Amino acid sequence: MDTLAAYKEHLREIGKLESALSLLNWDQRTNLPRKGHPARAEVIGKLTKMVFSLSVSDKLGEYLEKLQGQDGLTEVERASVRVVGKAYLRHKVIPPAFYEEYAIAAARSETAWEEAKEKSDFELFKPHLERMVDYARKFAEYYGYDESPYDALIEEFEPGMTSAELKTIIEPLRSELVPFIKRLMEEGKRPKDGFMQGTFPEEMQRTLSLKALSAMNYDFDAGRLDQTVHPFTTTIGPSDVRITTRYLPHNVLSGLASSMHEGGHALYDQGIPDDLRWSGLDEGASFGIHESQSRMWENLVGRSRPFWTFFAPIAGEVVPQLSVVSAEDLYRAVNIVKPSLVRVEADEVTYNLHIMLRFELEQALITGEINVSDLPGLWRDAMKRYLGVVPEDDAHGVLQDVHWSSGLFGYFPSYMLGNLYSAQFFAAARREITDLDEQIAGGKLSELLAWLRENIHQYGKMYEPKELVERITGEAPNSSHFVRYIVDKYTDVYGLR
C-alpha cells in the first residue's frame, strides 16, 4: 500500500472510532439510564484514548512527513495533509493517558452537572468544575501560547483568534448594543404577545419543529429529532446527523427556535460532500462558522418577516390559538427584546451580552484571576452589569450551560462570532439572490440552502474561518453587518424614529 492510501486508511480508522464515540455521547445525553453513566464514562474514556493515540501516532507522523509537498495530490488531499498535520503537531504534545483521564472526568462531570442543574445546587458540581478548569489550564500549558493561556484554548475552536482580538471585537459591539437596547426599552413600543400565552403539549411543539425542519430541507433519512436537557447536534457518521431540542410547556416558540438552530448545524454537516468524509476535513471550518449556520436559520430566516409570511398559516394549523393571529403580529411577537436570565432563550439583540459575560468569567478562570468557588456570585454581578437582571438560583445562573462541564473553555466566543459571520454571509447571499425575501415568503428555502452549500458547506474544513469569510464576502470578518441588521430590524419592530 502506498503512503497516500495508507494515510487515508489511517484517517478512516480514526473516523470509525469517532463515529462510535459520537453515538455513545448522543445516547448519554438522550436515552442513557442514570445508573448507566459511570460505566459509560469508562467506555468513552477508553475509545477517546484510542482515537487520540491514532491521531498522534508516529505512523501518522511518518505519513504526513512523506506527503507534505508531494506532487500529484489533489486539492482535497493537499488540504487534508495541511489540516491534519496542523492538528497532529498541536495534539502530539498531549500524553494519551492524560487525555483518557480527562475524557473520563469530562463524562462524569457532565452527569454531575445535569444533577446539579436539576437540583439547582452549585456545590454538587463544584469539585467537577474545579477538575475541568485544572485540565484546561494543563492543556493550555501543553499547547503553549504567546500572551494568554486562554489563547491556546480558543485556537481549538476558532483557529487564528486570540483573546486580545476578541476584545477589539467586543468593545465596539458592546458600545453599539447597550445604548440601542436602552432606547428600545425606553422609547420603543413592545409588540403584543398575549396570544402566545398558554400551555402547549410536547407533541404539538414537536410537530411544529418537524414542519420547520422539513421546510429547511433537513434530510430526515439522514437524521432524526430527539429531546435532551441542553440541545445539540451530532454527526454520528456519513448520512447520520442528529438533532436534539427541548420544549418548554409555556413557550411554544422556544422549541421551534431551538430546532431551527440545531437544524442549521445539521444542514451544514449534511452538506459536506462525500469526498471529504474521513479526511480530517469533514466538519465545519470552525465552531464560529458552524454557529453562523445555526444562527442564520434560527434568526435571519426564522425570525424574519418573510418567514412568518410563509409559516404563520402552518403554525396556525398546528397551534389552534395562533390560527387567528396575523403573520405580521406573529413576526413582531417572535422579535420581542427582553433582557433574560437564560442564554438559549435570549433574543438576538441581547444574546451577545450573554457571551461577553461568559468570555469575561472563563478567561479569568483560566488565568487564575478568580476561583471556581467565586463563580455563582460573580455570575450574578455580571448578569446585573451586562443585562440588568439577576438569577435567583444556580439553575438559571451559573449552571445553565453544559459547556464547562465538558471542559469546553474557549468555546463560548464562537457563539458571538457566529452571529457576526451569519449577518455578513446573509448580506452576501442577498446580493447574489436578489429575490431572497420573496423566495422565503413563498416557503422556498432551497435556493438559500444551495447558496450555503456552494459557498460554505462543500469546503468543510479546507479553509480557516478568516480566509473563508473573505472568500465569500470580499472583506475581513467584522461586526458592521450584524449591527446594521439589528438596528434596522428592531428600529422597525419597535417603532423607533
- For strands 240-245 and 225-227, give the pairing: parallel
Confirm whether 157 is domain-assigned: no
Q: Are residues 135 and 167 in the same domain?
A: no
Q: Are residues 114 and 168 in the same domain?
A: no
Q: Are residues 366 and 400 in the same domain?
A: yes
Q: At which of 88, 116, 144 does a domain end?
A: 144
Residue 243's identity, in one-letter code, is: I
* pLDDT the model gives residue 192: 94
Q: Are residues 184 and 264 in the same domain?
A: yes
Rounded Cα distance between 188 and 486, Å, is 14
Q: Are residues 87 and 187 in the same domain?
A: no
Active-site residue (options: 262, 291, 345, 362)? 262
Confirm whether 364 is domain-assigned: yes
Q: Are residues 94 and 186 in the same domain?
A: no
* pLDDT the model gives residue 332: 97
Q: Are 263 and 49 in contact (CB under 8 A)?
A: no
Q: Are residues 136 and 188 in the same domain?
A: no
Q: At which of 77, 112, 144 does a domain end?
A: 144
Confirm whether 170 is domain-assigned: yes
Q: Are residues 472 and 365 in the same domain?
A: yes
67 vs 7, 8, 82, 227, 252, CA distance in Å?
9, 11, 10, 44, 53
**What percent of the chain is predicted at pLDDT more than 70?**
100
Q: What's the average model confidence in pLDDT over 230-235?
A: 93
pLDDT in tens, 173-231: 999 999 999 999 999 999 999 999 999 999 999 999 999 999 999 999 999 999 998 89
Model confidence band, residue 150 (pLDDT cutoffs 50, 70, 90):
very high
Confirm whether 30 is domain-assigned: yes
Confirm whether 151 is domain-assigned: no
Report how many domains make up the chain.
2
**262 in catalytic set:** yes
Q: Note the residue count of the chain.
A: 497
Range of the domain at 139: 3-144
| CB neighbourhood size of 95 (10 A) | 11
Q: Are residues 83 and 171 in the same domain?
A: no
Confirm whether 149 is domain-assigned: no
Q: Are residues 106 and 244 in the same domain?
A: no
Confirm whether 152 is domain-assigned: no
Q: Are 425 and 473 in contact (CB under 8 A)?
A: yes
- Confidence check: pLDDT of 459 > 90: yes
pLDDT in tens, 467-491: 999 999 999 999 999 999 999 999 9
Q: What's the average model confidence in pLDDT over 91-99?
A: 93
Q: Are residues 251 and 135 in the same domain?
A: no
pLDDT in tens, 61-89: 999 999 998 989 999 999 999 999 999 99
Q: What's the average model confidence in pLDDT over 419-431?
A: 97
- Confidence check: pLDDT of 331 > 80: yes
For residue 85 the three cell numbers come to 498535520
Q: Are residues 271 and 397 in the same domain?
A: yes
* pLDDT the model gives residue 69: 83
